[in-house]
Structure 1
Amino acid sequence: MLPRFATLLASLSLAGAAHAGATHYPLTVDNCGVAQTFAQAPERAVTIGQAGTEMLYALGLGEKLAGTSLWFNNVLPEFAEQNAKVPRLADNDPSFEAVVGKRPQLVAVQFEWMVGAQGVVGTREQFAELEIPTYLLPSDCEGKDNLVGADGTRLQPFRIDSIYKSVSELAAIFDVQARGVALNDQLKGKLEHARKQLAGKDLSATSALFWFSSADLEMDPYVAGRQGVADFMLQTLGVRNVVESNEEWPTVGWETLAKANPTWLIIARMDRRRFPADDVEKKLEFLHTDPVAKNMDAVRNGRVIVLDADAMQAGIRLFPGLERLSTAFATGKAPQP
């Protein structure tokens, strides 16, 4: 897990601070093809998506948040104090009225399907009409078509630089660039540590499957496709994804998945409850009782890794998630849930 923000600030290098100048307003950011202008650092912001929320907490900006929404997991312990002071507008998607009612000077959005051309909450144009800037995390728009597939289709592989870009741009918007430099340095260190744990280990014959959730346990599961965030995690560690679709989270039948017979199964742990399979215990029960799934090598040999759902998303939890996977692949043992 990420250390407390105070520790992060204490570790800030002088070199990083020297290269982090103050923001000059008005600041215009080209965000996913839409120019957003900030006359000053926002005093009130609303987040739609846990990744953006915890990114702002990691930057020490909890006091600037007027509301959060769309949570997959409980907040990280080191952000609990900041989070306790911020109203939660919704566990899942909030209404447009609830967001606007907080009079935000910024709405930070994790997924384009929440605020975009077909936004569940609203469109960027609707917010612009009220002079409310929106910031969509670049990881969900760059190299991706969100109008194809339930969760969008990757046209290009996900790039980790898009997370560093989000941190840097949010830090610039709020005029806390030194904190952004420190956070990005920390995240890069975790990525490098995950890689080093597997140095010299041949994983060319190792494969894996990410199971996010299922609308119903009797239906095909939502699994990670190629080129997305979860696939990036496997590629980084030298492990093959058995799912070949370029959709972010396609549905694939268990017979097909069992035939692919991945070395490892990685299943999402969630605190949200939209679908029955959001409950990780129900996932584990299914894997050990379903006549098809229970015969997969990964299940029979205990190679099932439990990972926070938001660690499979483009946010700061991805990095400790990588370290967790790296440890498992290095030792050949699944860590305790």
Structure 2
Amino acid sequence: MHANSTFFSSKKTLLAIVGTTVLLTSGFSNAAKTEYPLTIKNCGRDITFNQAPTRVATVGQNSTEILYSLGLADRVVGTSLWFGPVLDAYKAANEKVAVIAQNIPSFEGIVAKKPDLVASQFEWQIGPAGTVASYEQFSELKVPVYTAPADCAKDNEDGGDGVRKGMFDIAMVYQEVADLAKIFDVQDKGEALIASLKARESAAKNKITGMDKNVSAVFWFSSADLQLDPYVAGKFGPAAWIAQTLGVKNVIDSAEEWPTVGWETIAKANPSVIVLGEMSRRRFPADDWKIKKEYLQSDPVTKLIPAVKENHLPAIDVQTMNAGIRTIDGVEKLADALVEYGLAHPQAAH
């Protein structure tokens, strides 16, 4: 979920990636150089670059952090749509970059930075029904917009968080890294980052063994009001992929990315785990995972859900539940929780 989602907490994610990327870079010294002009297919559009961009404006924290991970902080002239603190490894670099807006920027605010590329995480901001602008508005200024492939894999025509027709695939995130690396002619760094992400993905999948049968989960992002239906992860989004990767059933059957579903419906599904979205945003009381937990344990309907009765209520950073380079961290955190709750066994050390 991304609408008005500012400052979610994040401390440690991807520190391993940063180190691994450095170690692996030397292994990819033969990557092909980019030949300009370069045309890339992105979200059903052709975007062309006559040279590597030198002034990039970003809309979305994942887009920003991918560029930082590729060593391109000096090309970023303005950032926006921050969900939480930047990764520790990039704090110093990020302090030197202007912030267009902590949340959703204006079209004018982006244009004022005179970008030669806009890297965007969500079509909700820039796209067919973009709240900031359409692709055409930037095209008229001859400014290409690169949108995260994982987001335009959804139907975003109606705005909001979109609807998926099929399961999110982490390969879409790897494609985003590869595309941006090619645009900037830093393929070595792109291949190293992808290799480190894949290594973490493989390790995360192998963290557990002997999963109990019929383990199910629901991912609670927040609620506009505690008396209203909660925003939960749909059946095809990154959170559902996290569950599927570990052999856990997501009990929500909606194809919407973040639908609202009643607690009575959720209770009937008897989830064995309820993941509480952790964030530092305080737009709604339910943004606080502790308030989520208190509600679940006191409400007459929810307190009877198996996950609540057994206190299987892990708090996991909501940034892992959006498509991006942090998603694999969600697999790791949920795997650890399943082991802690006795719902799965850790893989034996060799």
Provide the TM-score with structure 2 as the length reference: 0.90
Displacement of 1:147 in angstroms is 2.4
- 2:264 aligned residue: 255
Once the two structures are superposed, the pairs formed by residues 104-123 of structure 1 within 5 Å of their partners are 104-123=115-134
User: Structure 1 residue 169 and structure 2 residue 179: aligned?
Assistant: yes
Displacement of 1:49 in angstroms is 1.0
- 1:217 aligned residue: 226
Paired positions, count? 331
- 1:185 aligned residue: 195
- Look up the SS of the partner of 2:242 in the other structure: helix
Using a 3 Å threshold, how does the CA distance of structure 1 residues 210 and 60 change in structure 2: closer, same or farther? same
- 1:329 aligned residue: 338
Contact 2:197 2:325 in 1 (8 A): yes
User: Structure 1 residue 72 and structure 2 residue 83: aligned?
Assistant: yes
- 1:49 aligned residue: 60
- Look up the SS of the partner of 1:72 in the other structure: coil
User: Structure 1 residue 85 and structure 2 residue 92: aligned?
Assistant: no
Displacement of 1:224 in angstroms is 0.6
User: Structure 1 residue 197 and structure 2 residue 215: aligned?
Assistant: no
> Which of these residues, 85, 94, 99, is aligned with residue 110 of structure 2?
99
Contact 2:280 2:287 in 1 (8 A): yes
Displacement of 1:310 in angstroms is 1.0
Contact 2:129 2:156 in 1 (8 A): no
Displacement of 1:25 in angstroms is 1.1
Displacement of 1:56 in angstroms is 1.4
Displacement of 1:6 in angstroms is 6.4
In terms of mean alpha carbon deviation, does 167-176 or 59-68 score higher? 59-68
Displacement of 1:110 in angstroms is 0.9
Matched residue type, 2:106: S
Q: What's the % identity of the aligned pairs?
A: 48
> Which of these residues, 154, 176, 184, is aligned with residue 164 of structure 2?
154
Segments of 5+ residues of structure 1 without an aligned counterpart are none
> Which of these residues, 234, 240, 257, is aligned with residue 231 of structure 1?
240
User: Structure 1 residue 287 and structure 2 residue 296: aligned?
Assistant: yes
- 1:10 aligned residue: 22
- 1:265 aligned residue: 274
C-alpha distance in structure 1 between counterparts of 2:303 and 2:184, whole Å: 50
Matched residue type, 1:317: R
> Which of these residues, 35, 40, 52, is aligned with residue 29 of structure 1?
40
Using a 3 Å threshold, how does the CA distance of structure 1 residues 291 and 6 change in structure 2: closer, same or farther? closer
Displacement of 1:58 in angstroms is 1.5
User: Structure 1 residue 303 and structure 2 residue 312: aligned?
Assistant: yes
- 1:319 aligned residue: 328
> Which of these residues, 51, 59, 70, is aligned with residue 40 of structure 1?
51
Segments of 5+ residues of structure 2 without an aligned counterpart are 1-12, 344-350
In terms of mean alpha carbon deviation, does 324-333 or 307-316 score higher? 324-333
Provide the TM-score with structure 1 as the length reference: 0.93
Matched residue type, 2:302: A
C-alpha distance in structure 2 between counterparts of 1:150 and 1:287, whole Å: 27
